[in-house]
Amino acid sequence: MANTYVDYTATAGQTDFNFSFPFLENDHVEVFIDGVESTAFTISLSPTRVVLDTAATGGETVRVRRSSDPTEDLVDFVNGSILTESDLDRAYLHNRYLNEEAFEGNTSSLQTAAGSTNFDANFNKIINLAPPTNSLDAANKDYVDDKLALSGTSLSGFNKSTHTGDNATTTFTLSFTPQTGTASAFRVAIDGVLQTPDDAYTIDSGASTITFTSAPPTNAEIVVIATGTAQDVNSVGVTATGSTTARTLADRFSDVVNVLDYGATGDYHPTNNPTADDTTAIQAAIDSDAGRVYFPAGTYRITSKINYNGCGLLGAGNDKTTIQCEASGVNFEKTVSLDRSAIEGIAFLGNGSNEGFGHGSNTRGWYRSVIRDCRFADFNVCARIQNAVILRIEGCDFSDGPLIFEPVGTPDDYNNNVTLINCFFRDVSASAGNGYACDVNMPAEFEGNNFNFIGCACDDSYSGIRIKNARAVFNNCSWERHTNYFVVADDAQVSFNSGYFLGEAGAGTANIFALRNGARALLTGPAKFVDNFQYYIDATGGSSFVSTVNQFNSNDYTLDATSTYGESLPREYTYTPTVYGASTTGTGTYTAQIGRYTRVGNLIHFTVRVVWTAHTGSGGMRISLPIDSVDTTGQRYSYPVYMAGATFTGAPIAFILDNSSHIRVRQNVSGGAATDINLPSSGEVVITGTYEVL
């Protein structure tokens, strides 16, 4: 057991390390952390320990040791002095500690590494080491430099020839054909000892022979290895870990093609290198029929259309790999139907008037494909998607140019099961594409045309998202600051589960929902509306219907004669009813104004109680409604009434006409027509009933 040091493996946050060996001076205690001496500690007692100034992070090897100073005399005896016990003990202990430390090799002796049984030279050289004689002896540098164990070499792709000496033969025929006669291109060993090229041997590539200056001894093992070979490196076989099947390097490289291997440079810069052009290299890489084409970090420039065959396009991330698209018209034209294609981690930048991805004549299909972590900017159209089936667009940014879904041209084309997740659409002008940041523009509604928007955002464009002749579900999406419409549904069915809509501060000119040509909109989750809009709902496109859990007042929406508005879930609301006269409206003092109503679709179920005094109105009694009744000619509603304070001879009834903002209080007279009950100066009325609204 060590008497002069102690080792620890530190834990995270540990500062204290106890030790039990005695010492004479504080500066005789040293601390090493992972073999490096540290002076950032203090010594504390009870218990005796070192305390690090900075706590360990965990896993370090900490050695606390005593190193008594052999150059310092702790006690100096003088003739005629008094010898005290403490001085004698101190001198004795100093010598003892020095001997203990020398014995345990704390300073200069070769010792075992902390926490191990192996010797640690602490990065010092061991000099004057004799050559080894036994198999477990240490070897010095001269011995290693003079030896090369070539007899066991069997590296694939390297040629080797072995022979046996007979103390007479100097020339041996090689088992392979040398590619060169340069002796230094070969490693030659006799019984494991490397031979010096040209001095000890020469190579004849024409005769395929090696000739030694002196005949190798009898039974000597001769090994010749050609380190320079003309073998095609692409044909060298490699075997993956855990596999037993070797594949050539050419086969392995074909799995993912790197555009740099085809001459691309990726060093385009508009100022420093404006003429760089990677068009030919990128097209060659795509034409290689590789499953995927990789674009390392850099900026690649294309100046003419790329014919895109659907191979995977993989970048290092849309903040690292950029393709500057400067071809007029379409830059990546889809020439075949895509199946299980992936475009990922690339930024595509246009020139403001061209298109990113497009399609050739009547080419169909984005089947089971994905576009992920890409950025499209500065295009007239970022991408035109046709006939997508199970297409997933995730984490992409479309700015200064729209994303358009459209048919190729035949009347039964559709886009089915398209999912957009966490995508961002922004800064699209009215002149870009059709003026929508994202445009689903289908000619007719079929069984397909299904879209799902999840967690997407659409900001600062002329118009937000159009869904035409399709069905779309929006989950937790947001829209901000559009000039025209936030969402347009044209002969479409759209559903919103929650949402956030931010208008422009001020007068507000944009409409949130525009419903056209029989569109249906359903708000199934609460939405938040911030700042000003012209209308929340504009359903003037004919035969449209919107249903929502959000309550909108009549000035929040505009409808044409064939469109309707309703709420999808019943909710109770309150309002403040008033009474007034048909001839003179008047005013009064109210002691009770209680109005409650529940809306279920287009039905209003209400309860009203009003108590008043000193009213100045005259004529038939009128009571205000929370929402105007439906404008259907000839529609009437009547209810029983509790009334006090008024004069009447028949049974009082409440009566609502079509397109009315109030309740009439009337009386049925036997044998005659119903007549108004005049408004008394003081009174009470209670009415409960149901009627229809727009």
448-468: per-residue pLDDT in tens?
578 999 999 999 888 899 999
Q: What is the 3-state secondary structure (H, E, C) of 624-674?
A: ECCCCCCCCCCCEEEEEEEEECCCCCCEEEEEEECCCCEEEEEEECCCCCC
Three-state SS annotation for 263-275: CCCCECECCCECC
Domain span including residue 643:
576-692
Whether the CA torsion 312, 315, 316, 317 is positive or negative: it is: negative
Q: Which of 8-22, 168-182, 540-554, 573-587 has the lowest mean pLDDT?
A: 540-554
| pLDDT above 60 for 411 | no
Same domain for 112 and 145? Answer: no
Statement to judge: residues 173 and 109 lie in one domain: no
Report d(CA 74, CA 87) in Å as an integer.
Answer: 9
Q: Are residues 440 and 339 in the same domain?
A: yes
Same domain, 28 and 110: yes
Question: Does residue 403 share a domain with residue 299?
Answer: yes
**Poorest-confidence range of 105-114, 350-359, 434-443?**
105-114
Residue 149's pLDDT band (cuts 50, 70, 90): very low
148, part of any domain = yes
Is residue 294 in some structural domain? yes
- Cα dist. 401→370, 439, 527 in Å? 20, 11, 27
Tell me: do 55 and 190 sit in the same domain.
Answer: no
Total structural domains within the chain: 4
Q: How confident is the model at residue 666 (pLDDT cuts 50, 70, 90)?
A: very high
456 and 583 share one domain: no
Contact predicate 313/295, CB 8 Å: yes
Residues 220 and 296 in one domain: no
- 3-class SS shares of the chain: helix, strand, coil, % to 5: 10, 45, 45
- Same-domain status, 10 and 82: yes
Residues 398 and 465: their CA atoms lie apart, in Å, by 12
Q: Which two tokens stand for residue 261?
A: 């291997």
pLDDT-derived band at 484 (thresholds 50, 70, 90) equals confident
| Residue whose token pair is 């070192």 | 50
pLDDT digits (tens, 9 = 90+) for 190-247: 988 889 999 999 999 889 999 999 999 999 999 998 875 545 566 667 777 888 888 8
Question: What's this model's pTM, rounded to 2 decimal places?
Answer: 0.55
Q: Do both 167 and 296 map to the same domain?
A: no
Do residues 209 and 271 both lie within one domain? no
Strand partners, 643: 685
Contact indicator for 567, 549 with CB cutoff of 8 Å: yes
Is 398 in contact with 423 (CB distance < 8 Å)?
yes
Q: Which of 458, 483, 508 is the last residue of a domain?
A: 483
**Closest to 371 measured CA to CA, from 338, 407, 349, 400:** 338
DSSP-derived pairing of the beta strands 651-657 and 636-644:
antiparallel
Q: How many helical (H) and strand (E) elements, i.e. helices and strands, does the chain have?
A: 4, 61
User: How many other C-beta atoms are found inside a 10 Å radius of the C-beta of residue 608?
Assistant: 24
Give mean pLDDT, residues 295-305. 97
- Please answer whether residues 148 and 192 qualify as being in contact, where contact means their C-beta atoms are separated by less than 8 angstroms: yes
**What is the helix (H) or strand (E) element at residue 597, kind and residue range?**
strand 589-601
Q: Is residue 551 part of a domain?
A: no
* Residue 494, token pair as written in the block: 């759209």
Mean pLDDT over 58-82 rounds to 84
Domain presence at residue 60 = yes
Mean pLDDT computed over 594-611: 87
Domain stops at, among 226, 245, 275? 226
Checking if the pLDDT of 300 tops 80, the result is yes
Give the tens place of pLDDT for each residue, 122-141.
Answer: 778 887 888 888 878 888 77
| 340 and 477 both lie in a single domain | yes
The total number of residues written for the chain in this structure: 694
